A = this chain, B = another copy of it.
Amino acid sequence: MLGNFTYCNPTRVHFGQDALDKLGGELANYGSKVLLTYGGGSIKRSGLYDQIVAILQDCGKQVFEMPGVMPNPTVEKLYEGCKVAREQNVDLILAVGGGSVCDYAKAVSVSAWCEEDPWEKYYLRMEEVDNPIIPVGCVLTMVGTGSEMNGGSVITNHTQKRKIGHVFGSNVMPRFTILNPTYTYTVPMRQMVAGIYDAFNHICEQYFSGTDDNTTDYIAEGLMKSLVHSSREALADPHNYEARSNIMWAATWALNTLLAMGKTTDWEVHMIGQSIGAYTDATHGMTLSAVSLAYYRFIMPYGLAKFARFATNVWGIDPAGKTEKELAEAGLDAMEAWMKELGVAMNIRELGVTEDMIEGIADGTFLMTGGYKVLTREDVIAILRASL
């Protein structure tokens, strides 16, 4: 651990089958006007919407609604939410849904009182927030993004073909989050595995970087082992509470800033994946899985020792009789086998990417500097072609 850092994560997490019982107590900390935001009809079908509205009413809240938040929330939807939040002068934004809804709530939170175009200020220019922030609370129904306990917010601009994530500070993190693993039971299998891979990849992005010894890399290995173990149980029985609860909590810690403390991080898989997302609107976790193996095999020679450690410490591969390279390759092979078990997308063609999009996706890919190799545009193109 050679880097200096400040760690602060004030989000209060209520976890478990009875977690929603804590919502009323949390609501008491805020004023009367609540903007309730959510996605499609799933929370209405499951009855969660009715439960939450009843709690809001019991607490005497005046509820404004912003439904229809899409999987990759758009800048137009952001403007729409800002208008309501500002006109009604809301005291709290309550997000009910998956990572996109949480991301969206945070985007509205920082943007509603922004005097400029928030897309330009907070996404294109990535500036610090200098206007009032509306507090956010979350009720999570889908696992993977970690948005429930971090300051991250990804917004998509289809006109500009840009999907940009801004990781805001601890003042933008949700004030509270309700995590009830049973809410994730009704998520379709394809979404469940995409979320599991999203969480796993968040860990990879922070793990596959740096050469110093770091406590957080040991924590990362533990989280990866827990995710792999529980994902197999959840595949066999999606209603296995123990498995779904472990996945939910591991996914939260995969991206709540702890793993990045004191070390460099990569995030190139996310950069490529987000650029694919801007072209295809494919499920986020699937855009990551589809390019991960090509990417990690491409950078493996530049971080060989870490990939060899990954093989042993995460996948339990015996190093005896193997060169470091063989060991490292065996680790990625084990990861590939697990990804196939999960049933995540293994190439970008199945996400709708065609040969003619490759150059545009590469142009829209941010080139990060924290990984084992700083990619060139040509490297990105090579990885995308290898992922077709």
Interface residues of A (CB under 8 A from B): 1-19, 22, 170, 212-216, 218-223, 225-226, 229-230, 233, 241-243, 245-246, 249-250, 253, 261-262
Contact between A218 and B213, CB atoms less than 8 A apart: no
With a CB–CB cut-off of 8 A, which chain B residues contact A230? 213, 215
Contact between B6 and A18, CB atoms less than 8 A apart: no
Contact between A242 and B15, CB atoms less than 8 A apart: no
Number of copies: 2
Selected from B2, B6, B246, the residue in CB contact (under 8 A) with A12 is B6
Contact between A12 and B5, CB atoms less than 8 A apart: no
Selected from B4, B12, B219, B245, the residue in CB contact (under 8 A) with A222 is B219
Selected from B3, B12, B233, the residue in CB contact (under 8 A) with A7 is B12
* A318 closest partner in B (C-beta): B318
With a CB–CB cut-off of 8 A, which chain B residues contact A18? 4
Contact between A218 and B223, CB atoms less than 8 A apart: yes
Contact between B222 and A218, CB atoms less than 8 A apart: yes
With a CB–CB cut-off of 8 A, which chain B residues contact A216? 249
With a CB–CB cut-off of 8 A, which chain B residues contact A19? 4
Contact between A11 and B12, CB atoms less than 8 A apart: no
With a CB–CB cut-off of 8 A, which chain B residues contact A7? 12-13, 15
> With the chains together, A230 CA to B15 CA distance in Å?
33
Contact between B10 and A6, CB atoms less than 8 A apart: no
- For the complex with contacts A1-B245, A4-B16, A214-B246, 7 further pairs of A-B residues with Cβ separation under 8 Å are A1-B246, A1-B249, A10-B10, A216-B249, A218-B229, A219-B223, A245-B262
Contact between A242 and B5, CB atoms less than 8 A apart: no
Selected from B17, B212, B223, the residue in CB contact (under 8 A) with A4 is B17
Contact between B9 and A16, CB atoms less than 8 A apart: no
Contact between A261 and B219, CB atoms less than 8 A apart: no
* A224 closest partner in B (C-beta): B218
Provide 17 A-B residue pairs closer than 8 Å at the C-beta atoms, listed in order of the A residue: A1-B15, A4-B16, A4-B17, A4-B18, A5-B16, A6-B14, A8-B11, A9-B9, A16-B262, A213-B229, A215-B223, A215-B249, A216-B249, A218-B226, A219-B253, A220-B222, A245-B262
